[in-house]
């Protein structure tokens, strides 16, 4: 897949079906009432430099980083923050200081070096015990890694970096992390590539079949601890309902009839799948539909190839548990290309601020497919 500029197609040429509950959300920071939105980054850089953002924008970046691979800079007018909250991008975790401190993934400044006033503001939330279970913490750490696999040491580090509580906590929690990794079926130990072996121990990854459950637990934890009760009432597709992709994408349909998670209005998780077995997307997707001013956010999308694609070459990744995603940049926008060169209507779909990790993750898909899970 080339990474150069493309002429924008004006239709959705390849039929594909996206099934599952449909979350509609966006971030409130940047409003656009008509036409393509204006992006705060021009040109878009990967990763975006925090210094290039206005304070409000920088906050939005923090609110999505590190967990979200896509930061959305678009607003639905008339919607509250709660309505726009995205439960599938994991970005919502950063929208409350007492859940996930608004700090970048990179090494945080040690608290003693912070200004006293700021430290005093952060302390109550930052140093309180996070409500997340160790499974959730491990899950977030692994999900936030480019390769979707981490050694236990890096899991420690991620937790410490994102939850300062554990910076001062006694060492017992590390034991709990290891205990959880070993005991939980959700995590799988994989051997390091000996050619690149640096450090001790194995790598840990999330079992794809348990990922929806982990995500659900994570989301419920957030909902429970969030005052944002509106999150609980976001409309979602129910069984039998369907959502037509807007614009010219007539063949894109999201339906609720084959929901893996049932008609629970809380369910916003979509799954990527090939025709036979559901598989999971590598990264959350945030799809923008400028014509309708709607942001379609998909944690993962069940993706089915229809008969039309039968004679197409089989995607080498089709059985890997992951789907290969590509994007490219044209002018100030970025565009998503689904597997088998299915180009979503690129006027209708935009990816905003896809960060460098997503790029790496896309590259790692080949490794995952080749090395097995």
Residues that bind DNA (CB under 7 A): 129, 132-135, 151-153, 156, 170, 172-176, 178-183, 189, 199-202, 204, 217
* Minimum separation from the CB atom of position 20 to DNA (A): 24
* Minimum separation from the CB atom of position 179 to DNA (A): 4
What 109-112 contacts at long range (C-beta under 8 Å, 24+ apart), as own/partner pairs, is: 111/164, 111/167
Relative orientation angle of helices 152-162 and 172-183, to the nearest 10 degrees? 130
* Minimum separation from the CB atom of position 170 to DNA (A): 6
Task: Name which of 102 and 217 has its Cβ closer to DNA.
Answer: 217
Distance of CA 119 to the CA centre of its chain: 29
* Minimum separation from the CB atom of position 104 to DNA (A): 23
* Minimum separation from the CB atom of position 41 to DNA (A): 36
Residues ≥6 apart with Cβ < 8 Å to 91: 27, 63, 64, 67, 68, 71, 72
DSSP states along 187-242:
EEEE---GGG--SSS-EEEE-GGGHHHHHHHHHHHHHHH-S-GGGGG---PPTT-E
Task: Name which of 108 and 217 has its Cβ closer to DNA.
Answer: 217
Task: Name which of 143 and 329 has its Cβ closer to DNA.
Answer: 143
In our burial notation (b when 16+ CB lie closer than 10 A, e otherwise), range 175-207 reads: eebbebbeebebbbeeeeeeeeeeeeeebbbbe
Task: Name which of 58 and 181 has its Cβ closer to DNA.
Answer: 181
Task: Name which of 16 and 181 has its Cβ closer to DNA.
Answer: 181
* Minimum separation from the CB atom of position 142 to DNA (A): 12
Task: Name which of 181 and 288 has its Cβ closer to DNA.
Answer: 181
* Minimum separation from the CB atom of position 150 to DNA (A): 10
Output the CA angle 325-188-274, nearest 5 degrees: 35
Residues 24/30/34/37 CA torsion (nearest 10 deg)? -90
Task: Name which of 40 and 130 has its Cβ closer to DNA.
Answer: 130
* Minimum separation from the CB atom of position 152 to DNA (A): 4
Rg (C-alpha) for the chain, rounded Å, is 20
Q: Is the link from the previous residue into 47 a cis peptide, with omega within 30 of 0?
A: yes
Task: Name which of 36 and 151 has its Cβ closer to DNA.
Answer: 151
């Amino acid at each position: 897949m080339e990474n150069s500029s493309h002429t924008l197609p004006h239709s959705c040429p390849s039929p594909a079906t996206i099934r599952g509950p449909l979350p509609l959300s966006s971030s409130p920071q940047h409003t656009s009432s008509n036409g393509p939105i204006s992006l705060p980054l021009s040109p878009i850089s990967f990763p975006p430099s925090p210094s290039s953002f206005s304070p409000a924008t920088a906050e939005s970046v923090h609110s999505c980083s590190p967990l979200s691979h896509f930061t959305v800079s678009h607003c639905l007018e008339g919607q509250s923050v709660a309505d726009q909250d995205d439960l599938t991008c994991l970005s919502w975790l950063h929208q409350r200081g007492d859940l996930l401190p608004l700090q970048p993934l990179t090494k945080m400044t040690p608290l003693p070096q912070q200004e006293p006033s700021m430290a005093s503001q952060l302390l109550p939330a930052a140093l309180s015990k996070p409500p997340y279970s160790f499974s959730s913490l491990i899950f977030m750490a692994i999900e936030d890694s480019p390769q979707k696999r981490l050694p236990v040491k890096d899991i420690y580090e991620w937790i410490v970096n994102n939850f300062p509580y554990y910076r001062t906590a006694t060492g017992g929690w590390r034991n709990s992390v290891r205990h959880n990794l070993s005991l939980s079926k959700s995590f799988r130990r994989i051997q390091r590539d000996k050619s690149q072996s640096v450090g001790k121990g194995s790598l840990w990854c999330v079992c794809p079949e348990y990922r929806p459950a982990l995500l659900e637990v994570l989301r419920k934890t957030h909902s429970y601890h969030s005052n944002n009760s509106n999150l609980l009432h976001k409309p979602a597709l129910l069984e039998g309902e369907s959502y037509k992709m807007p614009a010219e994408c007539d063949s894109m349909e999201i339906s609720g009839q084959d929901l893996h998670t049932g008609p629970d209005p809380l369910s916003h998780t979509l799954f990527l799948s090939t025709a036979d077995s559901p598989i999971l997307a590598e990264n959350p997707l945030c799809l923008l539909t400028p014509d309708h001013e709607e942001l379609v956010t998909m944690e993962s999308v069940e993706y089915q190839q229809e008969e039309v694609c039968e004679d197409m070459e089989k995607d080498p990744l089709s059985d890997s548990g992951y789907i290969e995603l590509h994007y490219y940049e044209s002018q100030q926008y970025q565009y998503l290309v689904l597997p088998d060169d299915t180009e979503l209507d690129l006027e209708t779909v935009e990816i905003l601020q896809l960060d460098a990790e997503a790029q790496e993750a896309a590259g790692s898909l080949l490794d995952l497919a080749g090395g097995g899970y």
